[in-house]
Copies of this chain bind each other. A is one copy, B any other.
Amino acid sequence: MDKEVKIAVLGLGVVANGLVENLTAAKEKIKQQTGLTFSIAKVLVRSKENKKKQAEKHQLVLTTEFDEILEDSDIAIVVELIGGIHPAKEWIAQALQHKKHVVTANKDLIAQFGNELTAIAEENNVSLFYEASVAGGIPILQTLNSSFIADEITEIQGILNGTTNFMLTQMTEAEISYDEVLKTAQSAGFAESDPTNDVDGWDAAYKLMILVRLAFSKDLSLNDVQIKGIREITQTDIFYAQKFGYQIKLLAQAEKVSGEIYAAVSPVLISQTHPLALVKNEMNAVFIESEAIGSSMLYGPGAGASPTAASVVTDILKIAQNMIDSSQALQMSTSDLPSCKIHEEMTSSYYLLLSDCKVDLPAFLEKQQITPVFFKQQPKNTGAAFITNQLTVEQKNSLLEQLQQVSHIKQILSVWGK
């Protein structure tokens, strides 16, 4: 089955460059293993002049008009790598309506408009694939779609944002402050000048929405994710977490609780003996609990031109092979998923950091029927850090109320894991 598949790429930034290089380098290997030849027919850019050198290097045909791609009937697959919502959404919709398969790495778009766009793909019997939108180089979406079809996922957790994981790792290992590490990450081009999307947890929440769609066949709305970022994490928190045997990580988690889904993105304490604790710097990982397989984890780079491009290529190959074998287009998920019923409150143990404590804290906690698992009080008895036993939300709220009367609560974080 020797076939040539023509691709158009929207955008010529770092990932698009990675894609061009990867497809060029792997051309022979792909042909040998699949019988397919891929060629990039057109690349949409804002200005031909700015991208002239890159175009010459890889003999790319540039265009500034999306319509030229839309109307080129030889182009079977459109790869969207411009990011953002507009005009990416409109272009993807039009490409699908013109019976072109679409591959995208655009998590914001897929999280918010994935169902709508998938519906257009279904109507037109073409595929919309987006492996690279979650956890860059990790093939998590295709794994959810293949290895877990006959299984039942009960929990999924991810370290999904490389920027915050880099920051927390550096705060731990290089012992530098949040502000310092943010500057380092920004000057290395690793964090945006406005870091909101990363540090406040929005990026991880978008990715969690996509994971939930594939893991639970449910539609999770952004409003239903309890989101807390890492701005308030200090070196003192990291110091005590380590002393107690934990790492602080920004964890995205979704868990089935009696037919409902609990969904949250928040900094949590993870035991140093759990595989997620060793996911460092810009690496990502997704941890899954399921009925048949039990515990499993996929680990890999969360971003970067080359790993992201590798995931895009995997999508392209899958679409192309299906194009040849089948008249029915594949989708990553269906467009008509039922909404999640949301479980708001979880039992958890908590890490607490106090200052200005006016009482004998161990005696006070005993009175509140709290049995701290770990406990450290500073010499002069006004500051303390401890980890509670498992508390219901009611118990936690009652504890906080009591503590506020006798001390200043500087930090409270969930401890993840049973």
User: Footprint of B on A, CB under 8 Å?
Assistant: 1, 18, 22-23, 25-26, 29-30, 33-34, 137-139, 142-143, 146-147, 149-152, 273-275, 277-280, 283, 291-301, 304, 306-307, 309-311, 313-314, 317-318, 322, 325-326, 328
Contacts and interface: CB of A to CB of B under 8 A. Distances in A.
A301 B295 CA distance: 7
A23 B150 contact: yes
A293 B147 contact: no
B150 A29 contact: yes
A25 to B, nearest CB: 8
A22 B313 contact: no
18 contacts: A25-B152, A25-B291, A26-B152, A29-B150, A33-B149, A137-B294, A137-B296, A150-B313, A150-B317, A273-B278, A273-B280, A292-B306, A293-B300, A293-B306, A293-B310, A298-B298, A325-B325, A325-B326
A218 to B, nearest CB: 14
Contacts of A274: 278
A96 B81 CA distance: 44
A268 to B, nearest CB: 17
Contacts of A26: 149-152
A150 B30 contact: yes
A187 to B, nearest CB: 23
Contacts of A147: 139, 142, 310-311, 314
Contacts of A146: 139, 142, 314, 317-318
Nearest to A139: B147
- A30, A33, A147, A314 — which one has the most chain B CB atoms within 10 A of its CB? A147
Contacts of A279: 275
Given A150-B29, A278-B274, A322-B325, A301 B294 contact: yes
Nearest to A300: B296
Nearest to A307: B293
A292 B151 CA distance: 30
Contacts of A292: 18, 22, 137, 306-307, 309-310
4 smallest CB-CB distances across A and B, nearest first, come from A296-B300, A26-B150, A325-B326, A297-B299
Contact of A300 (B22, B139, B294, B301): B294
Contact of A299 (B152, B275, B317): B275
Contacts of A25: 152, 291
Contacts of A280: 273
A399 to B, nearest CB: 32
A322 B300 CA distance: 29
A311 B18 CA distance: 33
